A and B are shown apart, each in its own frame.
Chain A
């Protein structure tokens, strides 16, 4: 076990990104130099992933305390620390990040023609910053990573995006920035209360009920926009549609998870009474996300938009699982709900990433995301079709795939909270299957629809590797989720205790 593993996981990719930037770009994507840069990017991201395995092997499942802790003074004057550590919430998400990033690098390999080095650099830096968000235990440090992360994402959409990328980036930036500014205000309030930015201290300190409600709302805006929850979700479809494939993958797989992570790291333990006060509203919003967005997804004509909406519906399960904690009346079930929500986050990272990659494969060939431009893809791309059907089934929550695990746990838990919660949540069984498989019917099956489809070539080796690895992961988590769940169990029990207490 390396002493400063977390620092390495943060700064290694950032350094790799900086090196790529320093090497300067080569607009001839086929040149030897561009090739060297690609391999550098891949090497760095794979090395980061390999190192992050130490996070799994060295992780102690039996404690809720922070592990791999690093602590050094940063700004003495206001008592800010460079303070890192992981528990059962953050470790799986860091692993997800380091797992997805190399895949994104491979997926963008020779697809990105303009400024490839900068493209890969942006993703590497983004990876480091995302790891920073998950590992930070000091409020200000967290905030710095949280905001810094927006910059590479902003550039990825703004530089390598589609036609309406400027509108999408602005919407994305303003939306998320607006939320985080209020979060900063809440941070400063808590800092004034404790005299420190130590997040553990914020969980301990008593806060009045009114203040808790206000802080909750401030947090809510920041996190709900990231998740995104209805009705602050409309930036997501736009951002996804305009983002390049890799950007969409990271956006769906990791960035959205920051919102869910924020709820379990900040809202629930720091302002439990505020959270309890708003729990009913949160559950209602989650169920609206599942049902309302499910219907909206049904009617999308753009594949990326459809998957974006399906992401919102799936993330509804995450927030539902988190906020039914207070409906259990002290019985068991609360841990199951939170656990289900966490599994759903990881699983959604894999599945939505895979779905966006599938659309990317088609887009690279036909340059269209419109469902109507396809039909009968299975005739010309049988291997691709097999992958796409598998991921679609996972998206529809088929048992045996990771998509089922979280939904199952949340539905079971929410039935105990209130059968009607489960009733609305379970509607995803029908809606999710309807919008996903209807798309599959129109895109993958049928007669060859047009000349573009007739000219399609099946997956190349690079695409096959990426989708194959994701398929393996989706099935592994679906068939044997125990390792993932065991990693989080004790941490979640601790969280449920924290959320159950009164601290005003």
Chain B
């Protein structure tokens, strides 16, 4: 199977190199053919791997590709660990990537950077596969940074736009803040285990958890807690958890296909995947899990609220992504790793669908993204309308859709996870994910109604050109709508309760909520028939109803409410002032420190006083000494007499 793994990883890389370096030679058709062919091959083989792993009963494989370096007994390798967790991720990543590749033909049709774009997204697929297939921390970090690089390049794809190149720098730097923690976490892993290899590290988890380290003198910290929190800081950057979430909404400056692929379906879920992969470590630190669940809960609820006031179609979806990532993080913190990964999967389908649907609308609207200038598009774009409806229903967890199964069970898992006690952590988490359901339904259908229903608010010129997008756009929409609708039904049982992940995910039996829930599992039909008994369902319906009332029946109301609660509105509109804090605060302080150190430290103190000061002093001293060399005999004689006197004095008194 090793050659299969190599092909899966290297095919997109090869295509990226060809499309990137020889793009002008092979032309547009050549570029998209080779990249789609390569990613298609990867996708096919990934599904074959998944098939073998699940239905074929193949054992997990851990193979080393080559030794990167060995120093001081520390082996640094490149290799693959393929188990069911990996196989699932590979299938999701390559499938969504393939759909986005096809879609891109339509979306980037007129763009002069066509070949470059295909090169980048293929490179992204390679990087993401390296990340999920890694069997060690070094390669994990490689993939981690490589997807960050491609994200940087793609957000700034239209590099003439000032907003785009601001956003990509911001995204890279905020991610680097997370990576700062991440690399320290890896360093801590090496310190306590002496290895970078997953299997070796997981094997020593128990011993590590028994150790402690004094980061601050006098207050020993549990080693595992330190490791897990540091690693999670990395996940907060990559998966955009508060307070490192600020880069994701701005990343919408990039072309829509990559918003779907990178900033919704795959890259941003890397943090979720990483924590699930590290479950053998996290299970030894309830402190770290409590941190995870609180951060996730804050993100899930508060980022969702921001979605309600956004007017850019992509930003609404972006805030929804933030909120859903928060849901996944909450599940991780509740030790329901399986539920997190399951939601990751369904979310990848319906969120990619929503983004691509939004992109389809944007194409038809000639790159207008303001939903206040849309409306009534339903009749012009039926395929986009119906697929977007499916995506929105899946997002709010409408019974039967993929999102229903994943979200409902995720919330159920949080409710059941009593190990946090009934203390503050538990209630924060549970109430956040519960109330988040209402918020999700409200902002999703607010956008949906404003775009597809109601009054046609676009100008005449745009309206006359409105029509359904070409098949390269609509086929991916349909291909993604199908799993968004039905995949939950088929996979929920095996993935969540059928022991799908095997040994890939380790949970302390005392806290294993999913196993506990599995005892009462009666199949998807059972869940569906009881849906209306849960608060989740009614909250979603309430959110949907609110959206219907405000945006279909009484479209005059929102503006009035907005005027009434201006303070709250401003708070949301300014995104809780995080951007102001970071840009006017940290960034400005950083530049201030830089200027101060440069002007005061380097130029004034070191160069001015010490270096040139020394040179000047030498010069002045020389000037004084030169006075002595007067050439007059009496000066020399006088000096000799003084010298003689001092010498004699020294002989008499000190010897």
Taking Cβ atoms with an 8 Å cutoff, the residues of A that contact B are: 171, 174-175, 231, 234-235, 292, 295-300, 332-336, 339-340, 376, 378-379, 389, 393, 398-400, 404-405, 408-409, 411-416, 419-420, 422-423, 426-427, 429-430, 433-434, 437-438, 441, 444-447, 479-482, 485-486, 489
User: A175 — which chain B residues lie within 8 A by C-beta?
Assistant: 611
Contact mask for chain B residues 189-227; partner A; CB cutoff 8 A; 1 contact, 0 none: 011001000000000000000000101000000000000
User: B602 — which chain A residues lie within 8 A by C-beta?
Assistant: 234, 296
- Given contacts A412-B187, A446-B160, A447-B160, is CB(A482)–CB(B215) below 8 Å? no
Q: Is the interface of A mostly helix, strand, loop or mixed?
A: helix
- Closest chain B CB from A290 CB (angstroms): 13
User: B590 — which chain A residues lie within 8 A by C-beta?
Assistant: 295, 298, 434
29 example contacts (A-B, Cβ-Cβ < 8 A) are as follows A174-B615, A175-B611, A234-B606, A234-B611, A235-B611, A296-B594, A296-B602, A334-B72, A335-B72, A378-B159, A379-B160, A398-B146, A400-B146, A409-B71, A411-B187, A412-B74, A413-B72, A415-B190, A415-B191, A429-B183, A434-B590, A438-B169, A441-B169, A445-B156, A445-B160, A481-B69, A485-B70, A486-B69, A489-B70
- Given contacts A292-B597, A446-B162, A480-B66, is CB(A423)–CB(B184) below 8 Å? yes
User: A336 — which chain B residues lie within 8 A by C-beta?
Assistant: 71-72, 74
A296-B593 Cα distance, complex, nearest whole Å = 8
- Closest chain A CB from B139 CB (angstroms): 9
A-B pair number, CB within 8 angstroms: 148
The answer to whether B486 has its CB under 8 Å from any CB of chain A is no
The answer to whether B253 has its CB under 8 Å from any CB of chain A is no
| Top 3 closest pairs, chain A to chain B, by CB | A415-B187, A299-B594, A335-B72
User: B597 — which chain A residues lie within 8 A by C-beta?
Assistant: 292, 295-296
Q: Identify which of residues 131-177 in chain B touch chain A, using a CB-to-CB cut-off of 8 Å.
A: 138, 141-142, 145-146, 149, 152-153, 156, 159-160, 162, 165-166, 169, 172-173, 176-177
Please tell me if the beta carbons of A332 and B70 are within 8 angstroms of each other in the complex: no
User: A485 — which chain B residues lie within 8 A by C-beta?
Assistant: 69-71
- Closest chain B CB from A174 CB (angstroms): 8
- Given contacts A379-B160, A485-B69, is CB(A430)–CB(B180) below 8 Å? yes
The answer to whether B532 has its CB under 8 Å from any CB of chain A is no
The answer to whether B179 has its CB under 8 Å from any CB of chain A is yes
Please tell me if the beta carbons of B72 and A333 are within 8 angstroms of each other in the complex: yes
Please tell me if the beta carbons of B187 and A434 are within 8 angstroms of each other in the complex: no
* B190 to A, closest residue via Cβ: A412
Please tell me if the beta carbons of A400 and B142 are within 8 angstroms of each other in the complex: yes
Please tell me if the beta carbons of B146 and A429 are within 8 angstroms of each other in the complex: no
A177-B610 Cα distance, complex, nearest whole Å = 17
* Residue among A175, A296, A332, A447 with most chain B CB within 10 A: A296
- Given contacts A295-B593, A405-B69, A485-B70, is CB(A433)–CB(B173) below 8 Å? yes
Please tell me if the beta carbons of B70 and A419 are within 8 angstroms of each other in the complex: no
User: A482 — which chain B residues lie within 8 A by C-beta?
Assistant: 67-70
User: B191 — which chain A residues lie within 8 A by C-beta?
Assistant: 412, 415-416
- Closest chain A CB from B149 CB (angstroms): 6
User: B71 — which chain A residues lie within 8 A by C-beta?
Assistant: 335-336, 339-340, 409, 485, 489
Q: Identify which of residues 590-605 in chain B touch chain A, using a CB-to-CB cut-off of 8 Å.
A: 590-591, 593-595, 597-598, 601-602
Partner of A415, one of B73, B179, B188: B188
Please tell me if the beta carbons of B74 and A433 are within 8 angstroms of each other in the complex: no
A300-B594 Cα distance, complex, nearest whole Å = 9
Interface size on B, residues (CB 8 A): 54
A187-B160 Cα distance, complex, nearest whole Å = 58
Partner of B180, one of A235, A427, A480: A427
User: B145 — which chain A residues lie within 8 A by C-beta?
Assistant: 398-400, 404
Q: A416-B191, A433-B173 are in contact. List 16 more A-B contacts (CB 8 A).
A: A231-B610, A292-B601, A299-B595, A299-B598, A333-B72, A335-B71, A398-B149, A408-B138, A415-B187, A416-B190, A419-B187, A434-B590, A446-B160, A480-B66, A482-B68, A489-B71
The answer to whether B579 has its CB under 8 Å from any CB of chain A is no
Please tell me if the beta carbons of B611 and A171 are within 8 angstroms of each other in the complex: yes
- Closest chain B CB from A283 CB (angstroms): 16
User: A444 — which chain B residues lie within 8 A by C-beta?
Assistant: 159
Please tell me if the beta carbons of B69 and A332 are within 8 angstroms of each other in the complex: no
- Given contacts A299-B598, A399-B142, A427-B180, is CB(A480)–CB(B72) below 8 Å? no
User: A389 — which chain B residues lie within 8 A by C-beta?
Assistant: 153
- Closest chain B CB from A501 CB (angstroms): 19
- Given contacts A438-B169, A482-B70, is CB(A393)–CB(B149) below 8 Å? yes
- Given contacts A430-B180, A434-B173, is CB(A295)–CB(B594) below 8 Å? yes
The answer to whether B186 has its CB under 8 Å from any CB of chain A is yes
- Closest chain B CB from A392 CB (angstroms): 11
Partner of A419, one of B160, B188, B610: B188
User: A427 — which chain B residues lie within 8 A by C-beta?
Assistant: 180
User: B156 — which chain A residues lie within 8 A by C-beta?
Assistant: 445
- Closest chain A CB from B75 CB (angstroms): 11
A328-B215 Cα distance, complex, nearest whole Å = 16
Q: Identify which of residues 235-287 in chain B touch chain A, using a CB-to-CB cut-off of 8 Å.
A: none
* A489 to B, closest residue via Cβ: B71
User: A297 — which chain B residues lie within 8 A by C-beta?
Assistant: 594
* A299 to B, closest residue via Cβ: B594
User: B615 — which chain A residues lie within 8 A by C-beta?
Assistant: 174
A295-B602 Cα distance, complex, nearest whole Å = 12
User: A445 — which chain B residues lie within 8 A by C-beta?
Assistant: 156, 159-160, 165
- Closest chain A CB from B226 CB (angstroms): 8
The answer to whether B607 has its CB under 8 Å from any CB of chain A is yes
User: A334 — which chain B residues lie within 8 A by C-beta?
Assistant: 72
A414-B153 Cα distance, complex, nearest whole Å = 32
A433-B149 Cα distance, complex, nearest whole Å = 11
Please tell me if the beta carbons of A411 and B611 are within 8 angstroms of each other in the complex: no
A52-B144 Cα distance, complex, nearest whole Å = 37
Contact mask for chain B residues 46-81; partner A; CB cutoff 8 A; 1 contact, 0 none: 000000000000000000001111111110000000
Please tell me if the beta carbons of A481 and B68 are within 8 angstroms of each other in the complex: yes
* A432 to B, closest residue via Cβ: B176
User: B194 — which chain A residues lie within 8 A by C-beta?
Assistant: 332
A426-B194 Cα distance, complex, nearest whole Å = 20
Please tell me if the beta carbons of B177 and A430 are within 8 angstroms of each other in the complex: yes
A408-B187 Cα distance, complex, nearest whole Å = 9
- Closest chain B CB from A119 CB (angstroms): 29
* B596 to A, closest residue via Cβ: A295
- Closest chain B CB from A478 CB (angstroms): 9
- Closest chain A CB from B196 CB (angstroms): 9
A481-B69 Cα distance, complex, nearest whole Å = 6
- Closest chain B CB from A125 CB (angstroms): 29
- Given contacts A299-B591, A437-B172, A441-B165, is CB(A419)–CB(B213) below 8 Å? yes
- Closest chain B CB from A164 CB (angstroms): 13
Please tell me if the beta carbons of B180 and A426 are within 8 angstroms of each other in the complex: yes
A438-B190 Cα distance, complex, nearest whole Å = 32
- Given contacts A234-B606, A408-B183, is CB(A332)–CB(B72) below 8 Å? yes
Partner of B594, one of A298, A426, A486: A298
